[in-house]
Structure 1
């Protein structure tokens, strides 16, 4: 068996190497714009760095629109290191994409451009190949606010600044990181993604309330085992299907099943349940695997999610929600104002989801505003995007008076 597994891994590796070589050849012959380096005033000043494979593209996609807004003032480029990601981003990304497979290619890009600010959406080990350059400001923007241990990783010390959503994130870093001046090293920008209008790809039954169930994945270590698909998912979905009084958008995390076959199998089981029930239901029962995250907030009246960035994205809407209670005793669960004031949903209570949801939709939760302020600051229309652009411009062109925006746009 060991010999078979070794041969299988070797074959997969050889296949990946062959595919990568073919992709590099295609880029060299047919996608040379991926090597483009503008000159003069059009030189890139801001980069969004993504060294990962496309299975993690959800992390960069949510920053497309804020970066497009920033590109109205400064030239912005996406830097990618993998040929498959370069070709995929070339098709979907609204920003210029530059393919830099080797560190020499990264050096040539840095030498030819005027990069003053580089953003990072994750903790890929290849981030450090970019961070060796001293000139740009290196800023971690993450791919969402949450209470996961990831959000106070000691790796954050490597960046010049962290763009955090609000005071809660700053306090979290103060609490968990030693020898770190969170006041000096963080900039509070809210959640600029909530200031973007997204077109919904589906129609829903407008006479029924819509529930978004957006669980996270199973995690890659016991402390990150927050996913609820196996513990809550099936009985929750069954309850809502049986009730018939709710549209349901089921959006599992893109990495679901990566480390647990049972988790991935349950996602597929729920997919089939929804498809079968949707054929005869007056409610709209959707399995959502669309690329973009954001339209679901506007379409949903209530959200059920796990300890994850989804909880904090939806929190900013001020709409009611439940956060599932992890069944794993090893999952790291910290005390937080959000988790204390947002209703939790245990696995045992999932079968009663319909009545719990109706009650939540009928009542006012005054504590939500206080929690939203603590986690995001001002979430009035346009406020977060304005803070993101302002703080970015400060790191590129110096202190900016907000009343002077917009400044000179990029060519």
Structure 2
């Protein structure tokens, strides 16, 4: 799969199914809030402002019942904000109305209410309460300061997975409550607020005193617990100790080939698609990441994972045995690792299509560019972006080796059609996605055929740039749901086998983290993975997918948006793909099945086919979807399929020959580039040996050891 794909990684991350889907699929960009979300925010804000206004009025009048009720409503809205509206919390903070300010205002209004309810003469009875509240807020600030110090001691220069890091004195993280100032203030301050509220009704300040005292005790306890974390024996290893440990691990493990990846939260699938091909290489592979959050987003694998956030730490790879790094994507941080002269770099991309992103000029920065087949080689030559033909290596697409080949026309009662449009992209090109201009027409035409079962798998970023795409996507989903209501067949009982496989897959992919676990605790939990876990996850995923499709009512249309089932699983059970110009088309060609591409570019069909070579073997559909009935007829009756031979030829051009397999060609390319890296190191060693002695001695420290690459 690629940046254009409507799906995410084929192997689940170490989270439960629902949490995994929420955490790993590319998030919609907040270009514009949906109507429902905007109304909810306005409503929550209005209730909170109204509660504060009522509390102020009740404190000044004074009205004890109203003061109590307004305080209770205000606290309830705070709970909703922290659990359901984190975005609104950030807006309040930008307006200098963060949780601390709100909490102080709430408590001060209660004190004012107490004064107005009988203490106007300034009796000293409230002075201890005010002093106690001030002490509580001072302790809150102290806890936050100590929390920051503890966080710094637990922010290691190297983050790992699948590596025994017990020598670094790793330990579980402090309770999340102590690290989250908003939650901590609400919980620790609740007794004081509640005591003041009760005192305003009962006119007995002892309730307020008891509440303030309990809040002080909780805060003091929290401060002590956090402060103990700063003791030398309770801290993880320091920065220098961690770096020395990392150097020792590199010397002991002696990696030869690695995958380098840097990207945003939504891009992990680009690295995940290369995990299995990397693991099958044998030897001692490693995964190099740059963002700390990405460590937990990489799918289950037995390959060691190392995150090196700082450039200075990354440069330590120069003195390792690492010979080759493969790059599934370009990023701003890619240029940093390209500076290491002892490592050869190959760009493998995360998918190929006819879009300009598949022949980016940045590719000329790599030693080699590895592509699927001759079409990509030609694409680079025609693009004239500085990539020389001698540096282009055809390796196929190892991820597609497992895609099931075409086995003939549909034999059951239904023809399964996968409609997988891409998103609208950044450039505003109307031809990027068919959702806006053609999506509803295509879906209506497909649903009008009683023999069609539709799988609708939109790109997760649909609607993130153009609201029209998001609106069209919602209307398409409504059409599919309405069609299912009309096609009311008996729904089978929940599958016990599917439930068992789901539980098994969740067990294999669930890392067992506490919700409050930080990076150090995750390193501790994931330091020694169960041997063969990645293979077990792959087997469980395959069994789950088979059970999932079998559990669905025959002919029921599906809207596929979760991480399971994956895109390639949808390929396997589909008889036909309808998509846009994207890498989804290139990947689907591995199956040899019929496919169609919607033309919303404004070009004529001839110009469309000429501009986008992946469309050569496709049925081109116009925005009105007039060609859908004939397309379905050709799928059901192969003798009417005039594009079968063209698909076979295009598959060869796009993906290369079937033999040797893509995995074998990938391995051969790795071996060849490793050999080139070894030769380069040998030449540098000989050149340094010829340098006069003083200069040679000064340069020796920069020369990496000659690696011993396993076969």
Shared fold by TM > 0.5?
yes
Inter-CA distance 227–259: structure 2 relative to 1 (3 Å threshold): same
Report the more deviating stretch, 148-157 or 206-215. Answer: 206-215
Report the counterpart of residue 616 of structure 2 in structure 1: 340
Normalised to the residue count of structure 1, the TM-score between the two structures is 0.80
In the TM superposition, what are the counterparts of 1:226-375 in structure 2 within 5 Å? 226-278=432-484, 280=488, 282-291=554-563, 292-327=566-601, 335-349=611-625, 353-362=628-637, 363-364=640-641, 365-375=644-654
Report the counterpart of residue 309 of structure 2 in structure 1: 101
| CA contact 2:413–2:451 (8 Å) conserved in 1 | no
| CA contact 2:368–2:391 (8 Å) conserved in 1 | yes
3-state DSSP of counterpart to 2:448: helix
Normalised to the residue count of structure 2, the TM-score between the two structures is 0.48
Report the more deviating stretch, 355-364 or 168-177. Answer: 355-364
Q: Does 1:170 align with 2:348?
A: no
1:152 to 359, 379, 383: 359
In the TM superposition, what are the counterparts of 1:202-241 in structure 2 within 5 Å? 207-223=413-429, 225-241=431-447
CA shift, 1:313, in A, is 0.6
Report the counterpart of residue 4 of structure 1 in structure 2: none
Unmatched 5+ residue regions in structure 1? 1-6, 16-20, 199-203, 400-407
Mapped to 1, the partners of 2:303 and 2:448 lie a distance apart of 44
Unmatched 5+ residue regions in structure 2? 1-89, 99-148, 166-245, 405-409, 490-553, 678-707
CA shift, 1:11, in A, is 4.9
Inter-CA distance 107–160: structure 2 relative to 1 (3 Å threshold): same
Inter-CA distance 398–158: structure 2 relative to 1 (3 Å threshold): closer
Inter-CA distance 410–370: structure 2 relative to 1 (3 Å threshold): same
Report the counterpart of residue 67 of structure 1 in structure 2: 278
Alignment size in residue pairs: 377
CA shift, 1:93, in A, is 4.6
Report the counterpart of residue 405 of structure 1 in structure 2: none
Report the counterpart of residue 385 of structure 1 in structure 2: 663
Inter-CA distance 114–311: structure 2 relative to 1 (3 Å threshold): same
3-state DSSP of counterpart to 2:587: helix
| CA contact 1:24–1:83 (8 Å) conserved in 2 | no
Mapped to 1, the partners of 2:481 and 2:154 lie a distance apart of 38
| CA contact 2:414–2:555 (8 Å) conserved in 1 | yes
Q: Displaced runs of 4+ in structure 1, greater than 6 A?
A: 21-27, 408-411
Mapped to 2, the partners of 1:11 and 1:160 lie a distance apart of 46
Q: Does 1:76 align with 2:288?
A: no
CA shift, 1:178, in A, is 5.0
Larger Rg, first or second structure (1 or 2) = 2
Report the more deviating stretch, 49-58 or 261-270. Answer: 261-270
Greater fraction of residues in helix: 2
Inter-CA distance 235–223: structure 2 relative to 1 (3 Å threshold): closer
CA shift, 1:328, in A, is 5.8
Greater fraction of residues in strand: 1
